[in-house]
C-alpha cells in the first residue's frame, strides 16, 4: 500500500498535496500531454482519474498514456464500479457515507468485488461525503442521495468520525464537480479536528487563495478538476499555493 503510506507520511509531515482530476471523457491525447507536462513542472502530487459519468471506454488508454508521460501516481476516482483500470496505481474504494443509498454503501461493492480484487490495484477505502455546493451537481443526481447541508458542520463531523471508526482510510468531502460554492473552511476545520485519517477536499475550487485557505483549515489533499479543464495554466498557481502552506515543525 505504497500510495496510502505516502498519504500518511505527507500528513504527518504537514505537507499539503495537490491532486489534479482528469475526466477521461474530456481529454484527448494532446490534452493529456499538455496536462502531464504542466503537472510535472508544478510538482503535482497525484493525478485522480474518473468522473460521475464515463461515457467512452477509453479509461485504460487515458491511464496508460499518463503513465507513459510521467511518474505522478494515478489514483482512480470512480463514478461507477466499471471505472477500474489495472494500469493505475491505486483506487479510491468509495462508500457514499453522506447518503442513505444502500447501493452506494455496499450493493455495488458486492457486485464488483471479484473484478476489483482481480485488478491487483492498491485499494484505499474512502468515506465519500457529498456536501451541498449550492446547485444540483451531477454527483447528487447520479448518486440519488441528499448532500450534507453546507452549514451543518456537526453532521459532517459525525459522518466523518463514523466513517473513520468503520475503518475507512480516507475521508473525501466533495461539493461536487463545478459546485457553485466550495466547502467552507469552517467545515473543513471542524472535520479535520475530529479525524486522524487524511482529509481530501474538492468541488468548486477555482482560485489558489481558496486552495490555500482550505489547506490552512485542515485539508490534506486538494482536488481540482473543472477550473483546470477551463485553464490548464492554473495548475502552476494552484500547486504553488498548496505547497506554500507552512510545514509543521513540531
Contact residues toward ligand 1GP (CB under 6 A) are 21, 174, 177-179, 202-205, 223-227
CB of residue 218 vs ligand 1GP: minimum separation in angstroms?
A: 16
Q: Please tell me the chain's helix, strand, coil percentages from 3-state DSSP, rounded to the nearest 5.
A: 45, 20, 40
Q: Give the residues across from 65 on adjacent strands.
A: none
Minimum CB distance to ligand 1GP, residue 241 (Å): 14
Q: Whose Cβ is closer to ligand 1GP: residue 21's or residue 121's?
A: 21
Task: Tell me whether residue 21 or residue 148 sits nearer to ligand 1GP (CB atom).
Answer: 21
Residues with Cβ within 8 Å of 153's Cβ and at least 6 positions away in sequence, in order, are: 186, 187, 190, 191
- Nearest approach, Cβ of 35 to ligand 1GP (angstroms)? 14
Following DSSP, what letter does each residue of 206-234 receive, concatenated? -SHHHHHHHHHHT-SEEEE-HHHHH-TTH
Least Cβ distance, residue 223 to ligand 1GP (angstroms): 4
Which DSSP category does 104 fall into?
I
For residue 230, CA distances in Å to 27, 133, 185 come to: 12, 19, 24
Residue 76 or 117: the one with the smaller Cβ distance to ligand 1GP is: 76
Whose Cβ is closer to ligand 1GP: residue 31's or residue 247's? 31
Residue whose grid cell is 477521461: 24
Min separation Cβ 69 and ligand 1GP, Å: 21
Residue among 134 and 248 whose Cβ is closer to ligand 1GP = 134
Closest-approach residue to ligand 1GP (CB): 202
Amino acid at each position: 500500500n505504497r500510495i496510502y503510506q505516502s498519504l500518511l507520511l505527507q500528513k504527518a509531515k504537514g505537507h499539503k498535496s495537490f491532486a489534479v482530476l482528469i475526466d477521461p471523457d474530456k481529454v484527448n491525447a494532446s490534452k493529456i500531454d499538455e496536462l502531464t507536462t504542466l503537472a510535472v513542472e508544478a510538482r503535482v502530487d497525484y493525478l485522480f482519474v474518473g468522473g460521475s459519468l464515463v461515457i467512452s471506454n477509453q479509461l485504460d488508454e487515458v491511464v496508460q498514456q499518463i503513465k507513459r508521460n510521467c511518474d505522478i501516481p494515478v489514483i482512480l476516482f470512480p463514478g461507477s464500479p466499471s471505472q477500474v483500470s489495472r494500469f493505475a496505481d491505486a483506487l479510491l474504494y468509495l462508500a457514499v457515507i453522506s447518503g442513505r443509498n444502500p447501493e452506494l454503501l455496499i450493493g455495488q461493492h458486492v457486485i464488483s468485488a471479484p473484478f476489483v480484487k482481480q485488478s491487483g490495484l492498491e485499494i484505499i477505502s474512502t468515506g465519500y461525503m457529498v456536501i451541498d455546493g449550492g446547485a444540483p451537481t451531477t454527483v447528487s443526481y447520479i448518486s440519488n442521495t441528499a448532500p450534507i447541508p453546507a452549514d451543518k458542520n456537526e453532521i459532517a463531523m459525525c459522518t466523518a468520525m463514523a466513517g473513520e471508526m468503520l475503518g475507512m482510510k480516507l475521508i473525501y468531502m466533495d461539493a461536487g464537480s463545478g459546485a457553485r460554492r466550495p466547502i467552507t473552511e469552517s467545515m473543513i476545520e471542524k472535520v479535520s479536528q475530529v479525524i486522524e485519517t487524511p482529509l481530501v477536499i474538492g468541488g468548486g475550487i477555482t482560485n489558489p487563495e481558496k486552495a490555500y485557505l482550505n489547506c490552512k483549515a485542515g485539508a490534506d489533499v486538494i482536488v481540482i478538476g473543472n477550473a483546470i479543464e477551463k485553464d490548464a495554466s492554473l495548475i502552476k498557481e494552484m500547486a504553488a499555493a498548496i505547497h506554500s502552506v507552512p510545514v509543521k515543525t513540531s
